[in-house]
Structure 1
Amino acid sequence: MSEDRWNTVLVLGGIRSGKSGFAESLVAGATSVRYVATATGGEDDPEWLARIEAHQRRRPQSWTTEETGADPAALTELLRQAGADETVLVDDLGGWVAAVLNPARQPNDDEADVAALAAAVRETAARVVLVSPEVGLSLVPVTPVGRAFTDALGTTNQSLAEAADGVALVVAGQPTWLKGGPLAPIKAAPAVSRPIAVPTPSTPAPPPPPVTVVAPEPEPEPAPVPAQVSALSGATMTLPLVASGLTEITPGMDLPLPSSDAGPDARERLSRLDLPGGGLGTLEEAVEFAAATQDTVTPRAWTTARLVVIGGRRSGGAIAGTDTADVERRIAEAETGTGLLGRLAGQAGADISVLRTEPAGAMEDGPVADEAAVETALRQGWQLADGAADAGRDVIVLAGISAGIEAAATAVLAATTGAEPVATLPRVPAPGGRFDDAAWMVRCATVRDAMHRIRQEPRGATDILREIGGLDIAVATGLLLGAAARRIPVLVDGPLGIAAGLVARDLASQTRHWCLLPEAGTLTLVKQGADVLGLTAVLQIGLDLGEGANALSVLPVLRSAIGLASALPVHPALLGEVGDGGLGLPEETGDEFDAEEFAEPEPHGPGPATTGV
């Protein structure tokens, strides 16, 4: 059994129950996954092929796919040979049972095949998740073949349920654990945020803008709570996430995905536009992302951005070499719409929402926050996303100003992906362009001690946040979940956003598809975490202005590229005839079309034969 106390899980569910998505969320934190496809045939069935394609698009690029096809023994052998450092996802056992019952294999001892598979599941050293259709609640089939399949699959499910460490039943996208225990549901209070209308920078500077504070609504008789987390974990009235249509945050949530067709179609369309030279280059990544999140091949440029600044503090070795007074100064500047972030936000036409979290403990000594505080912080972040959506914002830029966030994000990366902390922990900058290497060594030792301390602890999403992540990462995680639920893209560019993305995958794997990395920056921590999340940086110009500032700096360039992609027509040379209705023609953009200007001249005299386009 693994350190988080499960090694094999069987996920049951009916057709379109969400069982596959839930199973994928269980292994989303693995560095790589061996995805085992058992289905065979269907080459002449477009609907079946479409289902397979939808599953393929959900898988991260780091996953590898293996097909067992018509040989049931292949799956059993694969599980026996899988190593302790491997993660295997089998989807699903219905295809495996169909292969067992294949008339071409008869006569055969089918029960022996089932017993061998159950033994392999029981003995495997790998992390294994198996998906299987639940047939016990359906009607008895009217055909002998149908009854044979149902009986065989039911027997297989029983055998594997007995062998697995955990069994979950998924109904209407909601998982219920039949064996093993689920994580506690989240019930918390509304977010406390400070929305700020940021003025466009000018000289002299305008007066500070007003700050609005939305306070949590207390219960009539609040219970006493520890002083160090009273602001976040105090007893409050649990308010449903009405705007997002959810009442609680649980692992395996089935959140929306961006369009799987609009993005690739928009990128293909770019090759036909009236663009000189090689086109938009790497900026095509931003165009494809905007098209997918807006579900259109002609996306509009983001015009109403919101910068969400999350401020936090830590103690212990994580803040070695940190000038905490300087961190407080920068948070205060964000709250007044001044400083670097205020100036960049003003230039980008973005408003600011600032949230301060309570101090977190020393990760080397024990958990950095309690469970109630983490639950509250997750809901606060979700409601920050709800606030942005309700205000009509079309993109969120995530920024973090937190003492010790680099060490915490490094620990999260190590705990969720197995990365080596020494190779990813950023150096500690000091004023004047210098680096404090002694402080860096203290931080390395702190992360090492924290990883040793939690080696026997569970590794669920809330466990990671409670043990080493902290409340700022918890708020950012909730923000990513809420943004995905409200279909709002999020620009991430620093340790806080990357750490939150890694944790959010364990709650809902769809969140990473709503995130864009505008600029790679200089931190190995960000680049390696982004690679695990499947995020490709749009630009790589080496900005190192701080989290949120990098994204705001390149936001105008992204807007220009997206605007050009939606406004320019198809190149005249690619039109079969004037006004043939190709993508991006003026009838689509509203521009006037001059037939005389684009008419191809007739050749004079003999010449080479031509072929019409």
Structure 2
Amino acid sequence: MSLDGWNTVLVLGGIRSGKSEFAESLVADATTVRYVATAAGPTDDDPEWAARLAAHRARRPAGWSTEETSADPRRLADVIAAARPDETLLVDDLGGWVTVLLDPAHQPADDTVTIDELIAAVRACPARLVLVSPEVGLSLVPATPLGRAFTDALGTVNRAVADACDTVVLVVAGQPCRLKPTVTEPTPAGPAVEPAPARPAAGTTPATEATLPAVGAATGAAVPAQAGPVAAAANDSGISVPASPPVTSPQPPAATDGTGGWTAPTMALPVAASGLIIQPGMELPMPDEYAGPQAVDRLATLDVPGTGLGVLEQVVSFAAATQGTATPAPWRSVRVLLLHGDHDGDAAAGSLPGESARQAEQARSGAGVLARLTADYGAGLQVVEAPTAAPIEREPALSAEQVDAALRYGWRLAEEAVDAGVQLLVLAACGAGTEAAAAAVLAATAGAEPPAVLARVVTENGEIDDVAWMARCAAIRDALHRTRRSSRDAKDVLAQLGGGDIAVATGILLGATARRTPVLLDGPVGVAAGLVSRDLAGQARHWCLLADHGGHPAVKLAADVLGLTPLTELRLGLGEGANAMTVLPMLRSVLALAAALPARPDRDPADGGTDEPAQETEPDFREPEPDGPGPTSTEPAEDPGVRAG
């Protein structure tokens, strides 16, 4: 069983299950390992316990160092917190630690505070950390008070540590079973370091327990793989929500046959009909407010020549905040959600009929720019069909029921991606009239002037079509005039002006926020959804990252309103989503570099110095002598009117 990608892992198992051996195998390739032993030492009256400890010691390689924490259970948190990013720690085990913690010899002790200190240390640990713990919750409730106290305390510790760790593995009869994260998509080929899934900050509500109003009970059903559109699923409120489309995993073209060799294997995802009521004022999780600044401070200590990462420091800060650690890892499991939804009427003036459908089908078949980039970078691709929007200059783009269905559909797509082990979502879009719809949303939510945020219309021959641009401007003007007395509520904006693609994208942003998963935006549909989502849940924008503004005026303005700084200014025009995928390898490289570099030594001991930081001294400042006529001294002149008596 491969566990590539972990930074902190909890290994659970019963007695003689093989959990310790499995944990030791995880760190076998490390150059040095600090083995932290937590159990009390052997005694003369218990030779069997002494034999167990001796067997553990005999398995440890000679290069490992051992630390004992049995004398003071509080010291375990200090050892973990003081670990360096280039170290590997193996803690075996938490059962022994709890035993010592409950020992009357260590009382009075605040057990709750001690456990909290351990959890905080695990969350913030920059080193690779393996913790072993017995799983005793599957047995009968002990008959003695002391036995019940131990199982209750250990169960509490296991739950808290599992929540703080990137990965949790249960070993049963020598067979490891991964409990967290649950990955059902193939892990793309690449370096062996994967990012840790987002960890909830201390004191926050886990993503699966986000406070949301609900109606009815959620149900689920399996969807078989199909070639055509899958059947719609109805949720408890009676609103029809379409079933999830298949996820494709494009493969790079064959290098020798010259035919391209593109394939598109599909994976059907389960349908989880949502009973959530998506409405303004939802309380969703925020990124870790401390991890981001801590990550930036850590960058200043790394052995980097020159001035460092520059503007890309914000990538490290963003990843740290969303992953809940000062040492974030690069995103390896990525899914692109390509939203295909057309807009009827003059909003699509100048668009080639059927072009958006051709692009969507091209992506499904594994061809085109977006699919090829997705294949090259090992990401998944999901083409999502959104309802066609009516002409906004004459009538609402969608009905209220369609808006609710689209929001829930997007939310569910985000949840399914996270359940499949996806660590980063990329929003993409292809549809006729999307730019005009996004400009209308910006005008309604941010007070933008439509002509200032509506990009020029370029034909398939590369020519500027000003007539089509004016038709789009007129459509937006008429739509805003038609809705001048309408509410600017988020759902109303989606119904009147936004359309299906922006509504589904909004649901994706909200669902990703609820599951503490970052989203990479790219293009007008994504930023328009960001503006709408902030009025439903203000936390959503803090989970968004903007790859490149592409020179698009709507993206520039929306980024400024949302407080998003584009990472690059390449002015790419490869299509919404493809621009972000072009930048993705650079983002991964920055995170991998920041996680792997060692700390910079303050002084080199080989030069006769020490590892202690150099003491700062005040510079020796001496005022220069004046050049040319003027006083030659800065001392005050003697008053000629005063004489010594």
TM-score interval (norm. to shorter)? 0.5 to 0.7
Question: Partner residue of 1:228?
Answer: none
Contact map agreement 1:175 1:252 (CA 8 A) in 2:
no
1:196 aligns with 2:251: no
1:201 Cα deviation from its structure 2 partner: 3.6
Q: Distance in 2 between matches of 1:378 and 1:477?
A: 6
How far apart in 2 are the matches of 1:450 and 1:567? 53
8 Å Cα contact 1:481-1:511 kept in structure 2: yes
Q: State the TM-score, normalizing by the size of structure 2.
A: 0.56
Gaps of 5+ in 1: 1-171, 177-184, 217-237, 242-246, 576-597, 604-609
Per the alignment, in what secondary structure is the counterpart of residue 371 of structure 2? helix
Deviation at 1:429, TM superposition (A): 1.1
Residue 240 of structure 1 is matched in structure 2 by: 274
* Residue identity in the other structure for 2:601: P
Tell me how far 1:251 sits from its aligned partner. Answer: 1.3
Structure 2 gap segments, 5+ residues each: 1-209, 215-236, 618-645
Match of 2:264 in 1: 209
Per the alignment, in what secondary structure is the counterpart of residue 324 of structure 1? coil
Structure 2: distance between partners of 1:298 and 1:280: 15
Q: Which residue of 1 aligns with 2:307?
A: 278
Tell me which of 256, 275, 280 is aligned to 2:285: 256
Secondary structure of 1:434 counterpart:
coil
Rg larger in 1 or in 2? 2
Residue 232 of structure 1 aligns with which residue?
none
Structure 1 residue 427, shift from structure 2 partner: 0.7
| AA matched with 2:293 | P
> Aligned to 2:539, what secondary structure does the other structure show?
helix
2:468 is aligned with 1:439: yes
Cα distance in structure 2, aligned partners of 1:240 and 1:474: 16
Report the counterpart of residue 389 of structure 1 in structure 2.
418
State the distance in 2 between where 1:479 and 1:174 align: 16
Question: Is 1:480 matched up with 2:535?
Answer: no
Match of 1:400 in 2: 429
| Root mean square deviation, CA, Å | 2.2
The alignment-based identity, stated in percent, is: 48
SS at match of 1:309: strand
Residue 555 (1) aligns with residue 584 (2): yes
5 Å-filtered alignment, 1:389-468, equals 389-468=418-497
Matched residue type, 1:490: V
Rounded Cα–Cα distance in structure 1 between residues aligned with 2:466 and 2:238: 40
Q: Partner amino acid for 2:462?
A: G
Match runs of 1:530-541 below 5 Å: 530-541=559-570
For the Cα contact (< 8 Å) 1:305–1:351, is it kept in 2?
A: yes
Shift of 1:612: 7.0
Residue of structure 1 in register with 2:615 after alignment: 611
Task: Please say if residues 201 and 347 of structure 1, whose CA atoms lie closer than 8 Å, have aligned partners that are also in contact.
Answer: no
Task: Report the alpha carbon displacement of residue 174 of structure 1 after superposing the two structures with TM.
Answer: 6.9
3-state DSSP of counterpart to 2:425: strand
CA contact (8 A) 2:211 2:284 kept: no
1:342 is displaced (CA, Å) by: 0.5
Measure, in 1, the Cα distance between the counterparts of 2:508 and 2:491.
15
- Partner of residue 265 from structure 1, selected from 270, 294, 304: 294
- Greater length-normalized contact order (CA 8 Å, ≥ 6 residues apart): 1
Find 1:358's aligned residue among 384, 387, 392.
387
- Do residues 491 (structure 1) and 520 (structure 2) align? yes
> Would the alpha carbon gap of residues 186 and 259 (structure 1) be closer, same or farther in structure 2, given more than 3 Å must change?
farther
Return the alpha-carbon distance in structure 2 between the equivalents of residues 315 and 432 of structure 1: 23
Instruction: State the one-letter code of the partner of 2:367.
Output: T
Maintained 8 Å contact 1:191/1:384: no
C-alpha spacing 1:262/1:187, structure 2 compared with 1 (3 Å) = farther
SS at match of 2:554: helix
Query: How many Å separate the matches in 2 of 1:404 and 1:525?
Result: 14
Call closer, same or farther: CA 1:278–1:239 in 2, change over 3 Å.
same
Would you say how many aligned residue pairs link Structure 1 and Structure 2?
379
Distance 2:270 2:437 in 1: 28
Does structure 2 retain, via aligned residues, the 8 Å contact 1:193–1:384? Answer: no
Among candidates 507, 519, 524, match of residue 536 of structure 2: 507
Rate the CA distance shift 1:212–1:251 in 2: closer, same or farther, 3 A. same
Contact 2:262 2:366 (8 Å CA) reproduced? no
Aligned-residue offset at 1:402: 1.2
1-side partners of 2:534 and 2:308: how far apart? 34
Q: Measure the CA separation in 2 of the matches of 1:368 and 1:419.
A: 20
Change (3 A) 1:187 1:269: farther
Cα distance between partner residues in 1 of 2:489 and 2:591:
38
Instruction: Say whether the 8 Å CA contact 1:341–1:549 is kept in structure 2.
Output: yes
Q: Given that residues 480 and 490 in structure 1 are in contact (C-alpha distance below 8 angstroms), is that contact kept between their aligned partners in structure 2?
A: yes
TM-score by length of 1: 0.59
1:245-296 CA-partner distances (Å, limit 9, x unpaired): xx33221110000000101111121122111111111111111110100011
Aligned mates of 2:349, 2:246 — CA distance in 1: 29
